Amino acid sequence: MSEIKLMKGNEALAEAAIRAGLQGYFGYPITPQSEVMEYLALEEPKHNYVLLQAESEVAAVNMMYGAGGAGARVMTTTSSPGFSLMQEGISYIACAQIPCLFANIVRGGPGLGTIQSSQSDYFQATKGGGHGDYHLIVLAPNSVQEMVDHVYLGFKLADKYRSPAMLLSDGAIGQMMEKVQLPSPIEYKPDKPWATVGKKSGQERNYLTSLYIQPEEMEEKNIELQAKFKKIEENEVRFEEYKTNDAEIIIVSFGLSSRISKKSVDMAREAGLKVGLFRPITVWPFPANKIADIAARKQVKFFISVEMNAGQMLEDVKLAVNGKKPVYFYGRMGGIIPTPKEILTAVQERSRS
Amino acid sequence: MKEGYKLIYQKPKTLRKKRMHYCPGCFHATTHKLTMEVVEELGIQEKTIGVCPVGCSVFAYDYMDVDMQEAAHGRAAAVATGIKRMHPDKIVFSYQGDGDLAAIGTAETIHACNRGENFTFIFINNGIYGMTGGQMAPTTLEGQKTTTSPYGRDPKKVGLPLKMCEIVSQFDAVAYVERVSCNTPANARKAKRAIKKAFEYQIQGLGTTFIEVASNCPSGWKCTPEESLEWLKEKVFPYYPLGIFKNPEEK
């Protein structure tokens, strides 16, 4: 049964995972996302999932590899420094093609950084993060409701493509409270003939590996993975447009900063500026084709990428626009959240120049 | 079978028909065989899931005919934890070398043991990094020469070799710890008995079971297989004595 509640982003994420048929959670505490494991620990007696606090993020991601490889619906959540520690394991998971869900509740870096909200892990999330050629399916929620919806979607896409998926969220969305509609719980019945659950008599054993020592075999594996990524790019691009139809200025923004930019669009419209917002929901696969279409529109004068980092998605926007229109940037770093007014001022300055 | 011949030995059906890549005289081949004999004798081939490491036995899944996962270097204990927690009714083992289990994976090993994860460690301790060409391991003996300790291991610089059986037998949740070897037929039989006991204790749900095989590495030690057996007796066993360090009764 679906229900409506007032919930913190991290708790909503945890509740959504339970309802989406979570079977295993392996994690390590780190601010600002520890509420996920705390919520799951409190709820544990009522459900059948396995919850284990690992000795490190390194161990947690490898428990995911084991449990996910053995066919379970598994999730871990962490924040930036912890997600860095998981990269090795994610590379193995991507190659061995184990479906599982990650959430990075991003905080400002580099290094130990700050516990305040940031979007400075965009490169790490969308460009692979670990060694080798691979991608995760990356969803960027901008509300507590989407923390819930993207857990369902992330699990679904992970299974569909035998691929790791992730939520690229941030500390503010993790900590803020909003009204959410929680969907009905689903009964999860995995169909994973490749899983290591014990060799069936008369059949070949299952084994999961990322080792292909002969370069010809490794290239073959890479071709297989790239074909999968291409399929994901063709089928799974998601985005939201706000007042872009007649817009002369396009703000491109994801996650929390897109939420703020929406307000800036309204303020700009009141001031007589035709501004629209283009918001990638999947930051990988990136909605490059759609941005290219918008760039081709006559009335569009320029793009401005608004992010809480030093300009990371900016590179993808520039590639998509491909020189057809100018692409500018406005951002704050280190855990500072820009105000709608600040963004509006940046847009106005560019439109005057 | 030709008339007049009697079958007295055959390799277990749980070993795949695949030529092993191990060097002549290496105990990996023996330990693979013993482990798979145990799986066959216990009739658990369809319930067993193995985890192989990074090291010489990285290809163990090519030889062992059970479901397997290949782990990142040092992470086999975490991977095995994930599998066993999801499938407590299955028999799970990790098969790891000394660099894997006692250097890069020490944290995962110690914590899995402390939690009493109900799977079996099969730990091949040959005192050297075999696959990468003979570098110093956490278990390289004092004074032993390797490519990264060309003048012999100096404890003042890098400490003394780690004694994993002695360490993990301290944990309450660890059920059974034994160090065995395969240097003689009698010891190989003892090793097999130990692996079998470990699997049986796991089936009974007694907690972590840990079998260390004091092994050789003729290629890395730069000696003949025969000389490697001498080195085991003269140098390895005095520092790494064979025997049971913990029995379930003592829990």
Q: Read off the pLDDT of residues A183-222 as tens digits, 9 standing for 90 and up.
A: 999 999 999 999 999 999 899 999 999 999 999 999 999 9
Q: Given pLDDT bands bounded at 50, 70 and 90, which one contains residue A310? A: very high
Instruction: With both helix axes pointing from N to C terminus, report the angle between A215-235 and A80-96 in degrees, rounded to the nearest 10.
Output: 110
CB of B81 within 8 Å of a chain A CB? The answer is yes
**CATH code for the part of the protein at A3-235:** 3.40.50.970
- Chain A neighbors of B80, CB-CB under 8 A: 66
**Could you report the per-residue pLDDT of A171-187, keeping only the tens digit for each?**
999 999 999 999 999 99
- CB-based contact (8 Å) between A93 and chain B? no
pLDDT tens profile A33-84: 999 999 999 999 999 999 999 999 999 999 999 999 999 999 999 999 999 9
A205–B107 C-beta distance less than 8 A:
no
Chain A contact probe: residue of B47, B57, B59, B69 with most A CBs at under 10 A: B69
User: Pairing relation of β-strands A50-53 and A24-27?
Assistant: parallel
Q: Which residues of B touch A72 (CB under 8 A)?
A: 86
Q: Does the A239-352 domain belong in CATH 3.40.50.920?
A: yes
Nearest CA in chain B to A204: B65
Question: Does B47 sit within 8 Å of A62, measured CB to CB?
Answer: no
Nearest alpha-carbon partner for B176 in B203, B215, B207, B204: B207
∠ CA A265-A270-A275, rounded to 5° = 35
Residue count of chain B: 251
**Residue tagged 């086999």 (tokens):** B76
Residue B124, classed as helix, strand or coil, is: strand
Structure tokens at B188: 């190989």
pLDDT at B64: 98
What's the whole-number average pLDDT of chain A?
97
User: What is the spatial distance between Cα A170 and Cα A172, in angstroms, rounded to a whole number?
Assistant: 6
* A218/B contact by beta carbon, under 8 A: no
The strand pair at A137-139 and A282-284 is best described as antiparallel
Average pLDDT for A292-296: 98
Q: Does B102 touch chain A (CB under 8 A)?
A: no
How many residues would you count in chain A?
353
Q: Which of B24, B94, B32 is nearest to B65 (CA)?
A: B32
What pLDDT does residue B249 have? 74
User: What is the reported pLDDT for A125?
Assistant: 98
Place of tokens 């990790």: B94
Distance from C-alpha of B202 to C-alpha of B205, rounded to nearest angstrom: 5
Please tell me if residue B109 touches chain A, with a CB cutoff of 8 Å: no
Nearest CA-CA distance, residue B52 and chain A, Å: 10
Asked if residue B150 has a cis previous peptide bond (ω within 30° of 0), the answer is: no
In the DSSP assignment, the letter for residue A163 is -
Residue B142 in contact with partner chain A when CB distance is under 8 A: no
Evaluate whether B178 touches B243 at the Cβ level (below 8 Å).
yes
- Asked if A337 is an interface residue toward chain B (Cβ–Cβ < 8 A), one would say no
Among A74, A92, A198, whose Cβ lies nearest the Cβ of B48? A198
B176 touches chain A (CB under 8 A): no
Q: Please report, rounded to a whole number, the percentage of residues in chain A having pLDDT higher than 70.
A: 100
Chain A residues 129-158 with a CB less than 8 Å from chain B: none
Q: Which residues of B124-161 are buried (b: 16+ CB within 10 A; e: fewer)?
A: bbbbbbbbeebbbbbbbbeebbbebbeeebeeeeeeeb
Q: Does the pLDDT at position A279 exceed 90?
A: yes
Query: Which regions of chain A carry the CATH code 3.40.50.970?
Result: 3-235
Q: Residue B55: its chain A contacts at CB < 8 A?
A: none
| Contact of A102 with A128, CB cutoff 8 Å | no
Query: For residue B104, what are the CA distances in angstroms to A20, A103, A208, B67?
Result: 35, 26, 21, 25
Q: What angle do CA A294, A295, A300 make, to 5 degrees?
A: 90
Q: What is the per-residue pLDDT for B250? A: 56
**Tokens (6 digits) for A92:** 């193995």
Neighbours of A143 (CB within 10 A): 20
> A56: which chain B residues are within 8 Å (Cβ-Cβ)?
107
The two three-digit tokens of residue B181, written as one number: 């070897």
Domains for chain B: give ranges and CATH numbers.
Answer: 27-250 (3.40.50.970)
Instruction: Looking at the complex, report in whole angstroms how far the Cα of residue A293 sits from the nearest Cα belonging to chain B.
Output: 43
> Who among A50, A62, A198 is closest to B71 (CB)?
A62
Given this model, what pLDDT does residue A247 score? 98
CA dist A183 → A21, A46, A50, A142 (Å): 12, 18, 22, 18
Contact by Cβ (8 Å): B138, B162: yes
Question: Which residues belong to CATH 3.40.50.920 in chain A?
Answer: 239-352
pLDDT band for position A353 (cuts 50, 70, 90):
confident
- Tally Cβ neighbours within 10 Å of residue A217: 11
Parallel, antiparallel, or unpaired: how do β-strands A177-182 and B91-97 relate? unpaired
Q: What digits encode the pLDDT tens for the residues A93-151?
A: 999 999 999 999 999 999 999 999 999 999 999 999 999 999 999 999 999 999 999 99
pLDDT digits (tens, 9 = 90+) for B176-202: 999 999 999 999 999 999 999 999 999
Nearest to A199 among B45, B69, B86 (CB): B45
Model pLDDT, residue A157: 98
Among B15, B79, B90, pick the best mutation site for testing chain A contact (most A Cβ within 10 A).
B79
CB A195 within 8 A of CB A80: no
Cα gap A171→A33, rounded to integer Å: 7
In angstroms, what separates the C-alpha of B41 from chain A's closest C-alpha?
A: 16
Residues of B in contact with A211 (CB under 8 A): 58-59, 70
Residue predicted with more confidence, B2 or A252: A252
The list of chain B residues with pLDDT below 70 reads 250-251
Nearest residue, CB atoms, A69 vs list B45, B69, B84: B69
Three-state SS at A64: helix
Closest CA to A173 of A139, A144, A140: A144
